[in-house]
Structure 1
Amino acid sequence: MTGVYLKRLCIAALLLLPATPAQAAPLLDELGRPAPHILEQLPPPIADFFRGTGGGVPMPENAPHFTQFYWPSLGLGCIEGGNAVASTIAVPGPTEIPLPGAKAGETTFVFTALGTPPAQGRQDMNVHWFNINTLQYGRTELEFHGINPEGPITLSGTAATGHGTVIALAEGAANQCSYLPTAALFEVK
């Protein structure tokens, strides 16, 4: 891991830590999404994205536990008429879904950019992660694994994060469009 990415992970970690516990509690719900009073302040497309009212597919039975990254990522000018809003999730194993799946001690990361065409060619979307319990770290390239073949672009990849608390930073480009970084803190059991 280069010094630049390690520095970004450290900065992301500091941004995730609240100044006081009282400040963090009302900002997020139990899944790490914006709390209802925060959703009221967001533009409708972004608020609808977090509320899940923009359509989509239902969760499968026995769906794996996942952690949504703390804020959406924006791809500025990535879709006709505006910006693409993207979400990244971390799915600790063992799990068969989402593809490519994850064994115990691994995590699958999934990036989806709403309103975009399907994956085309090589992608440059990465998740840089650091396990604060084991001091393991790495970079996981996200690639097309057959999720949403007709769009929106959905990329995924699996990392051997080990068991413990992991901080992750997703950044890069999908379909030659750059997305702003987003971060998450999650537990791999």
Structure 2
Amino acid sequence: MRFARISRTATVVAAVAMTGALVSPTLAHAAPTTDAPSAEQTIPLPETTPDVDPATLSSLGAFAPALIGSIATRDDDGKVNEGLLAQAQSLADNPSLPPQAGQVWRSLIDFLGEPGKAKAVAAGAVPVAENDVAKKKSDSPNIPTGPRKPRIQQFLYPTIGLGCMAGGGNSVGMALTTAGPQAAPAPGPKRGQAGFVYTSLGTGPAKRGARGLVVTWLNLENGRTGRTVLTANPKINATKGPGTFTGIANTGRGRIVATVSGTVSTVQKGRTVTCGIAPTIGTAII
């Protein structure tokens, strides 16, 4: 019964809030950089597949629209609506919410309401060597080291691709953001651009030409919003997989919030496997 009451509250908040900037985003096209690296890139992946709690995904799917909607609805001063954030906080604190879902909610609320704190968190998460899910071998010739290593900002939680494996099983999906200027993902975002990467762990390479996976993003500082299609990248995991999809967006500099959703198409055992993913949410400093 408590869960039903919370869901109704979230629906009301979302219905009001989603009339803002996320309703009709424009398709974002970023001009490619000219200094693309010649070698195949290696994007950090976890050594072991992370656990994904279905209850957490379900909870986030039910409540996230209210929180994302609070981003789009500004108050009279043009700032994030504090009243809607307060409602989101009350939902995050509800004991019926799975612990991981509550942590994601609080991370988003902190990011929206405390820019200084958000920058500190992002700064600590960017270097690959310090990221918990990216333990790379320094002697690999295709893995940049030192100042050339990718600087990544992970999405807030992994997700599931339903039926993404050749045998019909689910695949864990992970998404990340890179802030330009840097080389990853190829051809590399420029200053004021964001690079998005989605990896479907355990699958074959991404299907070339597939355009079903989309990142919807919003820049909190300049109000710019857009939709960026993620496609197969011939420089990243293109031969053996796992299926990796990338895109570059002209977000401008500042704090961004993004969601990735849609379908993933990979080539496995000589045939194309297409599946849908549960959306996941990310925050980044560009």
Shorter-chain TM band:
0.7 to 0.9
Q: Offset at 1:101?
A: 0.8
Confirm whether residue 171 of structure 1 aligns to residue 261 of structure 2.
Answer: yes
Residue 169 of structure 2 is matched in structure 1 by 82
Off by >6 Å, runs of 4+ in structure 1: none
When normalised by structure 1's length, the TM-score is 0.73
Bigger radius of gyration among the two? 2
The 3 A distance-change label for structure 1 pair 85 and 4 is farther
Question: Any residues of structure 2 matched to 1:3-152 within 5 Å, and which?
Answer: 3=23, 8=65, 10-11=68-69, 16-18=104-106, 30-31=124-125, 51=133, 60-61=144-145, 62=147, 63-79=149-165, 80=167, 82-120=169-207, 121-146=209-234, 147-150=236-239, 151-152=241-242
3-state DSSP of counterpart to 1:118? coil
Q: Write 1 or 2 for the structure with the bigger share of helix.
A: 2
Aligned-pair identity (%): 32
Over 3 Å counting, the alpha-carbon distance change for 1:11 and 1:84 in structure 2 is farther
Per-residue deviation, residues 144-184 of structure 1 (Å, max 9, x unmatched): 12111121110100000101000000111111210111111
**Partner-residue secondary structure (3-state), 1:70:** coil
The Cα shift of 1:82 comes to: 2.2
* Counterpart contact for 1:127–1:169, Cα < 8 Å: yes
Q: Structure 1 residues 158, 98: closer, same or farther in 2, change over 3 A?
A: same
Q: 1:10 corresponds to which letter in structure 2?
A: I
Q: CA RMSD in A?
A: 3.3
TM-score by length of structure 2 reads 0.50
Corresponding position of 1:185: 283
Change over 3 Å in CA distance of 1:149–1:93 after alignment to 2:
same
C-alpha contact 1:76 1:84 (8 A) present in aligned 2:
yes
Q: Secondary structure at the match of 1:82?
A: coil
Partners of 1:119 and 1:94 in 2: CA distance: 25
Partner secondary structure for residue 18 of structure 1 = helix
Where do 5+ consecutive residues of structure 1 fail to align? 33-49
Change in CA separation of 1:52 and 1:165 when aligned onto 2, cut-off 3 Å: closer
Deviations 1:116-161 (A, max 9, x none): 1112242311110000000001000001121111211101000001
In the TM superposition, what is the alpha-carbon distance from 1:77 to its structure 2 partner?
2.1
Q: CA deviation at 1:73?
A: 1.6
CA–CA distance in structure 2, aligned partners of residues 52 and 81 of structure 1:
27
Offset at 1:11? Answer: 4.9
- CA offset digits 1:99-119 (Å, max 9, x no partner): 131000001101110111112
**Cα distance in 2 between the residues matched to 1:12 and 1:152:** 35
Structure 1 or 2: larger strand share?
1
Give the secondary structure class of the aligned counterpart of 1:149: coil
**Separation of aligned partners in 1, 2:213 and 2:70:** 17
Structure 2: stretches of 5+ with no match in the other structure = 1-20, 26-63, 72-87, 93-103, 111-116, 127-131, 266-273
Report the Cα offset of residue 10 of structure 1. 1.4
Distance 2:189 2:279 in 1: 23
Confirm or deny: 8 A CA contact 2:22 2:225 kept in the other structure: no
Instruction: Indicate if the aligned counterparts of 2:152 and 2:177 stay in contact, CA closer than 8 A.
Output: yes
Q: How many residues align?
A: 164
